[in-house]
């Protein structure tokens, strides 16, 4: 496993961004920083040291000070739920654009290789929806949901 040099210079940056920059698997990155007393905030995803957390699953002091709140967008389309991270992260780390994550009922039988291509297409649709939500597009409008349904149906018909 690669040992990260000068781990302190990555403090305050998004863990996923640092792992990509270092060309490391995220799990290896987390193992390496954990061994040296650094962690990832459960709320904002920033690399922090052990003194910035009360408990391992708590938000870091910056989240507590700024009272960061995530925005959750629940749609009635394929169980899509988007969690947008607090945009005030811009002030904390100039390389972070807020970000978010998405869950849905779009995938079929994760362990079945027969659905691999279909699930890859659904990952693409999820990524597009998340990108639109982060950019500020309202993903709850009837027209947008109709577009999602058309895209999913198109993928299902062509894969």
pLDDT at 15 over 70: yes
* Mean pLDDT value across residues 111-123: 85
pLDDT at 102 over 70: yes
DSSP assignment, residue 106?
A: -
* Mean pLDDT value across residues 65-94: 68
* 46 neighbors 94 (Cβ within 8 angstroms): no
The pLDDT of residue 123: 92
Q: How far apart are CA 24 and CA 145, in angstroms?
A: 36
- The terminus-to-terminus CA distance of the chain in angstroms comes to 38
The pLDDT of residue 23: 81
For residue 1, name the pLDDT band (cuts at 50, 70, 90): very low
Domain 7-64: which CATH number of 1.20.120, 3.30.465, 1.10.3470, 1.10.10 = 1.10.10
- Its pTM stands at 0.54
The pLDDT of residue 126: 93
CA angle at residue 113 from 107 to 118, to 5 degrees? 40
Closest by CA position to 128, among listed 110, 157, 155, 158: 155
The pLDDT of residue 91: 43
Domain with CATH 1.10.10 in the chain: 7-64
Question: Residues near 67 by Cβ (< 8 Å), separated by ≥ 6?
Answer: none
* 144 neighbors 137 (Cβ within 8 angstroms): yes
Question: Does residue 25 or residue 82 have the better pLDDT?
Answer: 82
Q: How far apart are CA 22 and CA 110, in angstroms?
A: 29
């Amino acid at each position: 496993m690669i040992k990260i040099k000068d781990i302190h210079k990555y403090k305050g940056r998004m863990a996923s961004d640092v792992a990509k920059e270092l060309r490391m698997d995220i799990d290896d990155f987390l193992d390496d920083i954990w061994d040296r007393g650094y962690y990832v905030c459960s709320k904002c995803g920033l690399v922090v040291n052990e003194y910035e957390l009360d408990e391992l699953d708590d938000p870091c002091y910056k989240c507590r000070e700024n009272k960061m709140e995530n925005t959750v967008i629940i749609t009635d389309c394929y169980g899509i739920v988007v969690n947008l991270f607090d945009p005030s992260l811009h002030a904390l780390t100039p390389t972070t654009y807020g970000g978010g994550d998405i869950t849905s009922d779009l995938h079929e039988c994760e362990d079945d290789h027969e659905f691999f291509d279909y699930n890859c297409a659904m990952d693409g649709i999820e990524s597009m929806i998340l990108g639109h939500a982060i950019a500020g597009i309202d993903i709850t409008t009837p027209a947008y949901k109709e577009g999602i349904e058309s895209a999913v149906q198109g993928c299902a018909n062509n894969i």
